[in-house]
């Protein structure tokens, strides 16, 4: 069983240690298997599963966001072609 520290757990997903500790405290990230003064460790497998789940959820969100952005861009291009004035505020 491989164990890693908070710095490595956070770096695996490109985040900072404070972000990682906030997710652990919120119950979103895995709980440490060893928690002693100056030595807190997580199972590598648990951390990998956490980041894989976040990546998969992010992929679904990214697709929806990209589709919404494409729809807005198409509508803006159509307004520009038609000569319809565009608003100065962003509705989306």
Give CA–CA dist 31/41, Å, rounded: 9
pLDDT tens over the chain, length 92 residues:
899 999 999 999 999 999 999 999 999 999 999 999 999 999 999 999 999 999 888 766 556 666 777 788 888 888 888 876 656 555 55
- Which pair of tokens denotes residue 6? 């908070």
Q: What is the DSSP letter of 92?
A: -
Which residue pairs from 66-70 have beta carbons closer than 8 angstroms and sit at least 24 positions apart in sequence? 68/92
Dump the DSSP string for 38-89.
Answer: TEEEEEHHHHHHHHHHHHHHHHHHHHHHHHHHHHHHHHHHHHHHHTPPPPSS
pTM of the complete model: 0.63
């Amino acid at each position: 069983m491989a164990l890693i520290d908070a710095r490595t757990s956070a770096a695996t997903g490109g985040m900072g240690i404070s972000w990682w500790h906030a997710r652990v405290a919120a119950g979103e990230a895995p709980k440490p298997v060893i928690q002693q003064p100056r030595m807190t460790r997580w199972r590598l497998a648990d951390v990998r599963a956490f980041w894989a789940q976040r990546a998969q959820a992010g992929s679904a969100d990214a697709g929806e966001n990209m589709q919404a952005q494409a729809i807005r861009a198409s509508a803006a291009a159509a307004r520009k072609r038609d000569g319809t004035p565009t608003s100065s505020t962003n509705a989306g």
